[in-house]
Copies of this chain bind each other. A is one copy, B any other.
Amino acid sequence: MSIVNKRRKTRQISIGNIKIGSDSPITVQSMTNTPTQNVQTTVNQILDLEKAGCEIIRVAVPDIKAALAIAKIKQKISIPVIADIHFDYRLAIASAKAGADGLRINPGNIGNQKNIKLVVDCAKEHKIPIRIGVNAGSLEKKIEKRLGITAEAMVESALVNIKILEDLHFHDIKVSLKASDVSRTVKAYKLLASKTDVPFHIGVTEAGGLYAGITKSAIGIGMLLAQGLGDTLRVSLTRDPVEEIRTGYEILRALGIRSRGPELISCPTCGRCKIDLFKIVQDTEKALLERSSKIKVAIMGCVVNGPGEAKEADIGIAGGDGKGILFKKGKIIRKIDQDDLVEQLLNEIDNIEKMEKPNGKKE
């Protein structure tokens, strides 16, 4: 029994060298929040995101300067760039000419069918896909008036626009259906799933800050993935976009779909804990961010339960009174002073990673 259903069958599209849909990996993407025309600042953010595992980056294109900046940005980064277009179809065309690997248009505000045709012609010429990015908050007025701000209206908007593109013999499409609540978001994707084989870009929009944002994204994206829906994902947080990437991978890992870097499990501590576990966990979490091995690390509050409860971890520490013990696969190795715990744990992880590298078993 798996908790994740078989993945929905979709057509496959390419954004630069990244494939989306069919049996390609479910990719993790983000969006910059720097002014796009500010090339160096934007490049720096994208490089940070690449390091965190971001596989596709989207940039806002509010004006022609931003569109032109795409050419310069692309010279300095490795991942494909999607131009995010609202209102003005001409910016889509300028972005494609500047080398964007994909276009995102919002059918609710891009204007009439004639504008869409011009964007499609341009996308065809540059061989780049278009995301139909439906947002509950900005539906076509006609559809909203008839169906309200509902999942059904979002699906109708998507279907109308897929048809417009396909009638123009353009099939290089993905779709997103985002609302700021989990319920409409999940419903909309479920409703659309059987009506088209277009791959899905999934996410909950305007999810919010730390707790609400991660929670809503994890539940919404998680429920969709568990139902086999979703080909690329973006977690939306009012935070540094690097945190979106981390959360995205945590969602994929939690469902056993993909993993990236070490897994850290840690207990919440309780009245039995006699060391500063929160700090130890935070320091270790930070240090592990740069690692790529798939080692499982446990950090537990007490010696009594710790190693036993974490016996499936490759390595771990369990807190004692001002001290901790190091354990491997649940077996106690040695005692360590509290102040040296993180350093020695990381050294041991180094050793395991080195031993594992030659045969590439875990990398």
Contact = CB atoms under 8 A, between A and B. Distances in A.
Contacts of A183: 2-3, 255-256
A20 interface: no
The DSSP consensus for interface residues of chain A is mixed
B206 A267 contact: yes
A219 B33 contact: no
Contact of A222 (B2, B151, B219, B278): B219
A281 B219 contact: no
Nearest to A184: B3
A296 B51 CA distance: 36
A86 B265 CA distance: 21
Interface in A283-327: 285, 298-301, 304-305, 308-312
A266 B304 contact: no
A177 interface: no
A137 B308 contact: yes
Given A33-B269, A309-B138, A215 B212 contact: no
Rank and list the top 7 A-B pairs by shortest CB-CB distance, nearest first.
A137-B309, A60-B271, A218-B218, A219-B222, A215-B250, A60-B270, A36-B271
Interface of A: 1-3, 31-37, 42, 59-62, 66, 84, 86-87, 135, 137-138, 149, 151, 180-183, 186-187, 190, 205-216, 218-220, 222-223, 226, 236-239, 241, 243-244, 246-247, 250-251, 253-256, 263-273, 277-278, 281-282, 285, 298-301, 304-305, 308-312
22 contacts: A3-B182, A3-B223, A31-B270, A34-B271, A62-B271, A137-B308, A180-B309, A182-B255, A183-B256, A211-B214, A211-B243, A211-B246, A211-B247, A211-B250, A212-B254, A214-B215, A214-B218, A218-B222, A219-B219, A223-B226, A238-B281, A239-B278
